[in-house]
Amino acid sequence: MSPKVKAQRSVIILAILLALLTCGLVAGAVYAIRLPQEISEQDTLILGQSQLIPGAPGVLHVQVQRHDNARPVSGAEVEVSLRPQAGGRAETLFTGTTGEDGRLAAQFTVPDVADPAQ
């Protein structure tokens, strides 16, 4: 291979690498610009059992707070539902709103289901 061909290949490879770097920088800039629009204004914290027993009472403690300063969000609408693991229609177990402290205790009876492992 002649030195001229090697030089041309090097220039082509360098141009491709430069184009890829430029695309990556543009994509990163677009992501950084759009990021504040994608971040939720609030955080929802959920505490409760990791397993529920069909027919038994269940409770989930929910706290809703602002993302930027962790202040409670009062009056936030909360819905707790159970959806079959294989997909399908969800069953609403609880609906309510948070109190002044941004919290609520969602109490419900766990429905009987065909597969308790879900």
In this predicted structure, the answer to whether residue 115 has a pLDDT above a threshold of 70 is: no
pLDDT digits (tens, 9 = 90+) for 88-105: 888 899 999 999 999 999
> In this structure, are 50 and 100 located in the same domain?
yes
Range of the domain at 26: 1-39
pLDDT in tens, 24-55: 888 888 887 776 666 678 899 999 988 888 88
The tens digit of pLDDT for each residue in 72-86 reads 999 999 999 988 878
* Prediction pTM value: 0.61
Is residue 51 in a domain? yes
Q: Which residue has the tokens 């920088």?
A: 25
Q: Tell me the residue type at 70.
A: A
- What is the residue type of 64? V
Number of domains the chain is built from: 2
Tokens (6 digits) for 45: 């914290």
The angle subtended at Cα 65 by Cα 62 and Cα 71, nearest 5°, is 135
What HEC string does 61-91 produce?
Answer: EEEEEECCCCCECCCCEEEEEECCCCCCCCE
